[in-house]
Structure 1
Amino acid sequence: MPISVQGQFPGDGAFRMKPRIRKKVRVALLLAALVAFFAGTYVATALLFESNTNLSLLARKVDSNFSATLSAAEASPLEVRKNYVRKHNGTLSWEQIEVVVTLDESQSMYSLSKSLQHGLDIPATTVREERRSRGALHKELQLSVYFDDLPIYQMLLRQKHIVSIPKEEVEEQRPKVALIVDDVGYDVRRALELLNLRRPMTISIFPQLKHSRHIAEVAHEMGYEIMLHLPMESGRHLRRNPGFISPDMNDKTLRWMLEKDFESIPHVAGVNNHQGSKMTCDRQAMMRVMTYLAEQNMYFIDSRTTSESVAYQVARSFGVRAAENDIFLDNEKNIEYIKGRLELLMEEAEHKGKAIGICHVHPATMQALQDMFSIMDERGIELVYASQLVN
């Protein structure tokens, strides 16, 4: 038998709740909302407390880790000062630990910094290193540890006094690095920025450009060594610079172009190749070039744009003083990348006693060089001109 229910659906007589029941429902809903609010507040507060606690705890873990590394490295600081600084970021609040470690002159800040960073095994933390100099006899290196871009720990390595090594005692033992700066000649402003670094470097200038002669004159007056950056046939469809030479030139044309190149740049001591991956593999072509360089008493640096180059061997067979590039430093225009390449160059010099690196006139390169010069000094590496490393 069908069941009939009336008054429960619209259009069939709306159901009317009794006043007392409506009041109880409202109270129940209000209580539920209050419970949800306080529960959410409690959870948020608990999470915030946990985040704050975790950041402070992470700072203490980093401190313990660094302290263990210092002990393992047998570092004997003259002084260690530790400070706890309250940090705030939005709703977060934590204690950052700041440590100042003063080292004596016998210890290497650079090596110690590497050990500290390699020994840090706490996940999701990053370390940023900043080197700075406080006058000729004071250096500082700061390690800042971050968790999710929040600073939780700082260690400042400070060296009050660095004893300079008497040059006459270790001249032959010090690793030597020659920096060749290529592609100079197009931009006077950048060239002057480079020269204002005021460190021994060999400036390799393109021939037959508007500013080539002026830059060479200024660089020579400031004590830099001048090199001719000789454009050679690459075998690829690349732009040909003025003063370009090719294996296809006959002897007369080749000699004429070389003479024009040398006339455009004063004070030239040597030559290195720009591009040239085709020409430097051509023994006959390089024999003609080396004949001319031998007549001019020039040295030659093989830039090694290809591993198949025979330029160095041909130069030596013609009695031309010569050497080969070890490392291109700035294939990527990124400061950290270039600093990493400079580190490889220093390691090469420390291993072999000498090394040659080629870089270019670029803001990132100049900044990386400026950052790394103090590291070279600290490691006892001597910057020299390319002419000092040729055979």
Structure 2
Amino acid sequence: MKKLHNFMILSLILAIFSILVDLGTTRDVPTPKADNILHLSNNTNKIKEIDREIEYLEEQNDKVSTYTKQYKKRVDYDKNPTSSEIQDYKDNIIEEVVTEKKPKYNKILKDSKPKIVIIIDDIANKKQLEEIKKIDLKLTPSIFPISKNDKDMLKMVNELDFFMIHLPLEAKKYTDELDTIKVNDPDIKIQTKIENIKKTTPTIKYINNHTGSKFTANKDEMERLLNILDSHNIIFIDSRTTPDSKLNEIAKEQNRLILYRDIFIDNNLDSHSLNNQLQEGVNLAKQRGYAILIAHPHKETLRALKQAKDSILKDVDIIYIDELNNILQDAKVTQYAQRIHK
């Protein structure tokens, strides 16, 4: 990016020099003529255009140089107790209560201990990863896209047994997000973003959405994104920030397994609510054989998980999302826990 920036600046300087040479040729003309006035006017417009291009390049350069800092600061859970993902979910929760009934499941994984996946979203820095590792459970960290310049974060991520990428998608109301994929973004923009993620973290196999209530509710857009992810062998997990998500419809039409979040652990951060949500996840796993829970790196949430390890969670297996995906693929299970007809 820096080389491109320098090259563009050099090109613009040469263009300005050329204009100044052109301006110099008019000095010997004693009386301004109409064509010379037009010539000067055109050169003035060119200079203004060059100024705009320089300003744009500087903005882009600043954006790249602060990319990592913005991601690291975007989630401050001490100052902001509600994550933007939970806010996006709460913006749609009244509609969800009205329109979405909780399904009753037959037990799919009958001959094994109930399985639970706990995804920790909104991971943006090393400290959060270190706190997660201290819990000593198979928690699945979902990490915001990492800048190639953030060497420390990349090093730590590469040492993890497993991780996902947390991809910002457009929300219906919550818009204060960095570098979000939006409805009607051109294919090349989405493709480039996924390619950059793959280059920076080449082992990545799973992505889930950060916010995304607007994007995931648009069937055409989700099919477009899934096609791009499929071309990179990346599996999409639906965070279900809206009951209007079209992933279930796509899964049925394409006869493919698309996993989704069953329960948000930390809609509220009091210990009673956290424990209730964890218990609900355990109950679902015992009924169906598995459950997918999503949490965020709040200190209250991490404390609750640590305490639940030998109590609420003692009768279930905590596994990574890739392990569950493989188990369900082998069992011929679709998104809504129905067997695929052979």
- TM-score over 0.5 for the pair: yes
Gapped runs of 5+ residues in structure 1?
1-169
Q: What's 1:240 paired with?
A: 177
Q: What's 1:218 paired with?
A: 156
Q: What's 1:195 paired with?
A: 133
Cα deviation, 1:282-326, whole Å, max 9, x if unaligned, reads 111011111011112222211100001012442565576420100
Cα deviation, 1:115-174, whole Å, max 9, x if unaligned, reads xxxxxxxxxxxxxxxxxxxxxxxxxxxxxxxxxxxxxxxxxxxxxxxxxxxxxxx99420
Equivalents in 2 of 1:269, 1:363: separation in Å? 28
User: Secondary structure of 2:250's match?
Assistant: helix
Structure 1 residue aligned with 2:122, among 183, 196, 200? Answer: 183
Confirm whether residue 335 of structure 1 aligns to residue 271 of structure 2: yes
The letter for the 1-side match of 2:113 is R
When the two chains are superposed, the root-mean-square deviation of aligned CA atoms in Å is 2.4
Confirm whether residue 262 of structure 1 aligns to residue 198 of structure 2: yes
Post-superposition offset of 1:208: 3.7
Gapped runs of 5+ residues in structure 2?
1-108, 330-342
Equivalents in 1 of 2:210, 2:232: separation in Å? 19
Q: What's 1:389 paired with?
A: 324
User: Secondary structure of 2:259's match?
Assistant: strand
- Report if aligned partners of 1:220, 1:226 keep a CA contact under 8 Å in 2: no
Structure 1 residue aligned with 2:144, among 184, 206, 224? Answer: 206
User: Secondary structure of 2:227's match?
Assistant: helix
- Report if aligned partners of 1:202, 1:226 keep a CA contact under 8 Å in 2: yes
> Where in structure 2 are the equivalents of 1:236-385 lying within 5 Å?
236-242=173-179, 244-314=180-250, 317=253, 321-376=257-312, 378-379=314-315, 381-385=316-320
* Length-normalised TM-score, structure 1: 0.51
Structure 1 residue aligned with 2:168, among 228, 231, 242? Answer: 231
- Report if aligned partners of 2:282, 2:313 keep a CA contact under 8 Å in 1: no
Cα deviation, 1:62-98, whole Å, max 9, x if unaligned, reads xxxxxxxxxxxxxxxxxxxxxxxxxxxxxxxxxxxxx
Q: Which deviates more, 201-210 or 286-295?
A: 201-210
> Where in structure 2 are the equivalents of 1:127-206 lying within 5 Å?
172-185=111-124, 187-206=125-144
Post-superposition offset of 1:346: 0.5
The letter for the 1-side match of 2:222 is M
- Report if aligned partners of 2:194, 2:229 keep a CA contact under 8 Å in 1: no
Q: Which protein is richer in helix relative to its size?
A: 2
The letter for the 2-side match of 1:388 is E
- Report if aligned partners of 2:140, 2:320 keep a CA contact under 8 Å in 1: yes
Q: Which protein is richer in strand relative to its size?
A: 1
Distance 1:388 1:283, change over 3 A: same
Equivalents in 2 of 1:385, 1:316: separation in Å? 24
Q: Could you say which structure has the greater relative contact order, defined with CA pairs below 8 angstroms and 6 or more residues apart?
A: 2
The letter for the 2-side match of 1:194 is I
- Report if aligned partners of 1:178, 1:201 keep a CA contact under 8 Å in 2: yes
Distance 1:266 1:374, change over 3 A: farther
Post-superposition offset of 1:235: 2.0
Identity %, equivalent residues: 28
